[in-house]
A and B are shown apart, each in its own frame.
Chain A
Amino acid sequence: MEPSDIPPPRVEVGVLGWLKKNLFSPWYNALLTIVALVFVVFVVRAVLRWALFSARWEVVTINIKVFMIGRYPASEAWRVIASLGIVLVLAALTWLFRKAKGRPIRRWLVLAWIASFPVIGILLRGFGEDNPFMPRVSAEVWSGLLLTLVLAIVGIVASFPIGVLMALGRRSRLPIIRVLCTIYIETIRGVPLISVLFMSQLMLPLFLPPQIRLATVMRALVGITLFSSAYTAENVRGGLAAVPRGQYEAAQAVGLNKALMMILIVLPQALRNVIPAIVGQFTALFKDTTLVVIVGLLELLGIGKAVTGQKQFIGLHQEVYFFVAVLFFICCYLMSYGSRRLEKKLGVGER
């Protein structure tokens, strides 16, 4: 076809054109723009004035170590920093080799990530009571941001595989497995996290032999993991249902057995579809860790409350809660940012 002689319609260009098109036309949008602007200016001015002139931030700066590691002994704080160092180094390496797909280094990194869990666990907990190098730090004193991160990360990492298995179990052709999984999922989803936490504190010792005494933190972790895995299972089930039947048939037709079909064909597609839902659920879990305060654990929010209880800082709630909120926001925002990146990366070539 000949190129047309008619030029495309003129669009308004430049900053002014954009402003006019998006903010000031027609007249009621102009009105909304002005009202919103006044409101934003008002709020920002008030917050800034408070944050810069009247807030007493020394409650945060003096207590920063308390916020981070709580009652973890100060002499052993290097172990927390070392743990953080391990995670940062692994993250940096993963980022550096993000393009090296299929190279052996990637396999080593996966192994290193898996190994980092027990290593960090030992580092934080230490050995015997009187070990000169790394004396035992009882899990009972873990607190602050450290505790929040331990609860959230271990909860997420442990509940994900359990949730996937539960989702597969709920779709199983074997009635016993299907019924058991369904009962588990529906029961956990039917009760609040607080009651699951209480139950895990009180009931777990009954199931375990008397010589094993789990720390409160461990019992809370079990409760959080059980709770989160039921929700993961339902999200994953939704993703599984969205994988077309043809994919199962094609996998069978090329000779894959059931396990390979699930691992190589069905789960990758199902999980990709539910990344937003699962990350949303993990973000919620991260914030729900604040509930462990009811079983006597002092995570970030609980520590904040304890800080405001100190004599010299009485009445400084605003500063403390603002700081805690910012920390929570940073963590949650990083999670959802990561989720968007992952979605984009895995979405290549789809439809």
Chain B
Amino acid sequence: MMSEGIMEHSDTAEQIIQCREVHKWFGTFHVLRGVDLTVRKGEVIVICGPSGSGKSTFIRCINRLEEHQKGTIVVDGIELTNDLRNIHAIQREIGMVFQQFNLFPHLKVIDNVTLAPIWVRRWSKDRAVKIAEQLLERVGIPEQAQKYPGQLSGGQQQRLAIARALAMQPKIMLFDEPTSALDPEMIKEVLDVMVELAKSGMTMIVVTHEMGFAKQVADRIYFFDDGNIVEYNTPEEFFLKPREDRTKKFLSQILTH
């Protein structure tokens, strides 16, 4: 009943990401083989699949860290082409969180967060600092503002990375295996922040194997293998009634250990 309501609302909501027949090659290796995926505003999408299946490459194409070679990607009405203006416009609207955090080690925690708003959005320093402080509060590390990233724990670093991405007030957040590099006891603190973000209505695409997270907040789960989507479904259906053999095999591998 509840889930139907959400689906119905999603159907009428604006399509914010449209990927059609996206292909990419690394040299002669065909990584993405015609991926079709549409995300509506406010949806949380989880992508899973074996390593090398192209899932990271796919989300990196959405904000142009990788270039797709065939097909179209349209983000918030702007098509990703070689036009630098389009690329920058799209990169400003998309926040990204990396597996290895990729924080700026030479800048203090607060400066990591305020850098892009000040230089890209041209906010005043006062305004940027005020919003950065709110964001650090939101991800639970307000007392770390004057430290350097290297002085934080892994979980704190990843939460800082989330705050840094949110500072640009993006419409979409991409997460590329955000918990894979973390010690087990720190995974929850990062997932808690992501769950809160999902519930606040942010559009999210999350590459992860955290199936608890997927069950809790995902609108749909996509299973990638061999450079394409094998199947997708709501979390309930996906875990209870996977249709494809490859999906069943993958689920049995990640859920039984």
Contact = CB atoms under 8 A, between A and B. Distances in A.
B119 interface: yes
The secondary structure that dominates the A interface is helix
A253 B64 CA distance: 9
Contact of B106 (A252, A255, A257, A268): A268
Interface in B102-161: 102-106, 108, 115-116, 119-120, 147-151
A344 interface: no
Contact of B65 (A249, A255, A272): A249
Contacts of B95: 253-254
Interface string A241-285: 000101101111111110010001100110010000000000000
A346 interface: yes
A278 to B, nearest CB: 17
Category for how many chain B residues contact A:
20 to 34
B94 interface: yes
Contacts of A351: 105, 150
B38 to A, nearest CB: 22
B88 interface: yes
Interface in A279-331: none
Category for how many chain A residues contact B:
20 to 34
Interface in B57-107: 63-65, 84, 88, 91-92, 94-96, 98, 100, 102-106
B26 to A, nearest CB: 15
Nearest to A348: B148
Contact of A254 (B108, B150, B165): B165
A350 B65 contact: no
A103 to B, nearest CB: 12
A350 to B, nearest CB: 6
B106 A246 contact: no
A348 B91 CA distance: 31
Nearest to B93: A255
B168 interface: yes
B151 to A, nearest CB: 6
A257 B98 CA distance: 19
A349 interface: yes
A253 B119 contact: no
B88 A254 contact: no
Contacts of A269: 105-106
A243 B103 CA distance: 12
Contact of A346 (B63, B106, B150): B106
Contact of A260 (B92, B119, B149): B119
17 contacts: A244-B102, A246-B98, A247-B104, A249-B102, A250-B98, A252-B65, A253-B91, A253-B94, A254-B116, A256-B119, A256-B120, A257-B88, A264-B115, A348-B148, A350-B105, A351-B105, A351-B150
